[in-house]
Amino acid sequence: MPVLPPWVSDPAGASAREIVPLYWIMFGAAAVVLAIVLGALVWSGIRYRERPGVTAQQVHGNNVLELAWTVIPTIMVVTFSILSFQRLLVLNDVDTGADMTVKVHARQWSFGFEYPPSYKDALFTTSDGKALLAAEELHIPVGAKVKLEITSQDVIHSFWIPNLGGKKDAVPGRTTYLSLQADRAGTFKGQCFEFCGDGHADMLLIVVAHPPSEYATWAKSAVEEFNRSIDPATAKGRELFLSLACAGCHTVKGTPANGKVGPELTHIAKDPNHKLPGSVGTVNAANLHRWIKDPQKEKPGTLMPTLGLDDATIDQIVNWLLTLK
């Protein structure tokens, strides 16, 4: 386990690099104070311990000591405040040199990311004419300074990717701003950092930084995936899933379905070799149909009830499930 926090041991962006020197200054000062206080405690404990025939000298008031432990901490607190404020001025300047703006919508319990209509040759306009709105993962180009406009639909959440810098609260009815910039390609993980209810621990955050030359390709595939999810051919299945009992037990991030009883289905169709319960087999249309039709027959005793849905309804739900990649 690394001893140092991620933004110090592995800073991967401009904000993290801004924070590191301040971290060391405060850490160093705290270490010196700890050493002095503990040292004085141990030394005086030995030096002035009770011994036969020795009476401790009784002291009442000592101007030098009183002044020292008032003035030194005051100087330290003021210095740290000035240094922190100066760093905050840099970190909170999200506009200077900003390349693109992404809106972050937090809600119980996922983060949604709304992209601009386009960024350079990456196009984010989907088939419904709106800009791409995707859940869970934020994709950014390496090097770009991305301005985040953060809001919340319900309670206070907090956005934090430790390797990339500081955190910022998502507050209902307000917009807060954070700047995100990654020095290198990679996946950076984070977590909602404000307790926000039952699902708080599951409210993960993933930032994927792409080499700039690959960003447009990613955008194209993300838009295609989104278009599939709002395709009229599968929209009915989505509606059925959300209105039937399914949504009460399963979570599909980016939709109102946030049940915790059954497995999460956000990426059910991502891996075609993924096994369905019992002896149903891997994820495909026929197997999903068989499972939803009569789970109790396929795996007796499973928590999933046999809902008695007709074949046409099941097919529509399966069509939609297969878009969850």
| Under 8 Å between Cβ of 255 and 243 | no
Q: Whole-number minimum distance, CB 278 to ligand CUA, in Å?
A: 34
Does residue 192 bind ligand CUA (CB under 6 A)? yes
Closest to ligand CUA by CB, 95 vs 154, is 154
Closest to ligand CUA by CB, 192 vs 246, is 192
Does residue 290 bind ligand CUA (CB under 6 A)? no
φ, ψ dihedrals at 143, nearest 5°: 90, -30
Sheet holding 204-210, edge to edge: 137-141, 204-210, 186-191
Q: Whole-number minimum distance, CB 82 to ligand CUA, in Å?
A: 32
Does residue 207 bind ligand CUA (CB under 6 A)? no
Does residue 200 bind ligand CUA (CB under 6 A)? yes
φ, ψ dihedrals at 147, nearest 5°: -90, 125
> Is residue 137 helix, strand or coil?
strand
Does residue 27 bind ligand CUA (CB under 6 A)? no
> Taking Cα atoms as reference points, which of 194, 161, 206 lies closest to residue 179?
161
The residues, ordered by sequence, that sit 6+ positions from 324 with a Cβ below 8 Å of its Cβ are 229, 252, 265, 266, 267, 268, 269, 270
Distance from C-alpha of 105 to C-alpha of 113, rounded to nearest angstrom: 6
Distance from C-alpha of 323 to C-alpha of 244, rounded to nearest angstrom: 18
Compute the chain's Rg from CA coordinates. Answer: 28
Distance from C-alpha of 83 to C-alpha of 66, rounded to nearest angstrom: 26
Does residue 194 bind ligand CUA (CB under 6 A)? yes
Does residue 12 bind ligand CUA (CB under 6 A)? no
Q: Whole-number minimum distance, CB 180 to ligand CUA, in Å?
A: 18
Residue of the chain from 75, 172, 195, 261 that contacts ligand CUA (CB under 6 A)? 195
Does residue 325 bind ligand CUA (CB under 6 A)? no
Q: Which stretch binds ligand CUA (CB under 6 A): 132-140, 194-202, 272-280, 296-304?
A: 194-202
Does residue 293 bind ligand CUA (CB under 6 A)? no
> Taking Cα atoms as reference points, which of 175, 176, 180 lies closest to residue 208?
180
Does residue 150 bind ligand CUA (CB under 6 A)? no
The residues, ordered by sequence, that sit 6+ positions from 70 with a Cβ below 8 Å of its Cβ are none
Q: Whole-number minimum distance, CB 66 to ligand CUA, in Å?
A: 45
Does residue 157 bind ligand CUA (CB under 6 A)? yes
Closest to ligand CUA by CB, 169 vs 294, is 169
- Considering only residues 219 to 238 of the shown chain, the ones binding ligand CUA according to CB under 6 A are none
The residues, ordered by sequence, that sit 6+ positions from 312 with a Cβ below 8 Å of its Cβ are none
Residues that bind ligand CUA (CB under 6 A): 109, 157, 192, 194-196, 200, 203
